[in-house]
Amino acid sequence: RLEGELRACEGEERRLGRELGEQRLEAERLRAEERAFWRALAEHRLELDESEEERAATASAIRYATAELARLRGTNVLNDMFRIAQEGSFGTINRFRIGRLPERSVPWVEINAAWGQACLLLDALVRRCGVPTQYRLLPRGSYSAIQAGGDVLELYSSDGGLTRFFMDRRFDLATAAFLGCLREVTRFLQRDPSMRLPFKIEGDKVGGFSVRVQFNQDERWTKALKFMLTDLKWIIAFVESRDFGDRGDRGDRGDRG
């Protein structure tokens, strides 16, 4: 009986696949017809004896529509890609918790994944806004890094055993550099007086709490990271409410090749 049901399900799946393929072909045919219609209409309009004023008005309308379409396409992209939220005492980015508590020991693999997402987000903000920065972000998933000067610092860690002390030192340098880059983005955006963050960034601290893990309390470290993500969320909202095009690698950023 189960084999019969399985065969029936497989047959239904094949049927749905065929229907989906047919619908895609039909949709493409309709799109082709629509494109042909608009081409014919455009050619017809060109044949009309328009005045120079009408031609200028048409060109202006086309430019406006093109710019508006580009703006709309960019709307909420960062917010959709990077979901920043809170889970109790933790800040989260794309559901990855960042931080540790004595009663809730988040595995390093999850913390590293969260840092990777934060690195990718900050890099996207730098590129989109054309922020000149002394840092080079290297988003590589759970093994992301940041280049400060000539040193590439690992933005990830582990329980590490005997090597933990040295790993924590480099990890702390990386997180402090990340916060430095975030501060540069903030200052760049604060050329607009309306730009304000909920938590002030000073040195290696955000909202008065250090992002360094070494010689820090888990609760204070976790709070600093939660505040950092909150600031990033505010920056996303600010950037997407303004007309920032994707500027690629533009800006005085000689560290990018």
Q: Could you tell me which residue, 244 or 79, shows the higher pLDDT?
A: 79
Q: Is the pLDDT of residue 190 over 80?
A: yes
Adjacent-strand bridge partners of 84: 93
Q: Quick one: pLDDT band at residue 214, thresholds 50, 70, 90?
A: confident
Provide the mean pLDDT of the chain.
81
pLDDT value, residue 254: 38
Q: Is the pLDDT of residue 67 over 70?
A: no
Tens-digit pLDDT profile for residues 122-175: 999 999 999 999 999 999 999 999 999 889 999 999 876 545 555 678 999 999
Torsion angle of C-alpha atoms 216, 221, 224, 229, degrees rounded to 10: 150
Q: Could you tell me which residue, 191 or 5, shows the higher pLDDT?
A: 191
Adjacent-strand bridge partners of 136: 147
Half-sphere exposure of residue 203: CA atoms within 13 angstroms, side-chain side:
6
Q: What CA–CA distances, in Å, run from 175 to 10, 17, 108, 133?
A: 51, 48, 15, 16
Q: Which of 44-48, 62-66, 72-76, 94-98 has the lowest mean pLDDT?
A: 72-76
pTM summary value: 0.67
Beta carbons of 69 and 53 less than 8 angstroms apart: no
Tens-digit pLDDT profile for residues 20-51: 667 667 767 777 877 787 777 777 666 665 55
Q: Is 19 helix (H, G, I), strand (E, B) or coil?
A: helix
pLDDT value, residue 86: 94
Rounded mean pLDDT, 165-191? 91
Q: What CA–CA distances, in Å, run from 198 to 9, 17, 240?
A: 54, 50, 17
Q: Is the pLDDT of residue 194 over 50?
A: yes
Beta carbons of 213 and 169 less than 8 angstroms apart: no
Domains of the chain (ranges; CATH) run 2-74 (no CATH), 82-240 (1.10.418.40)
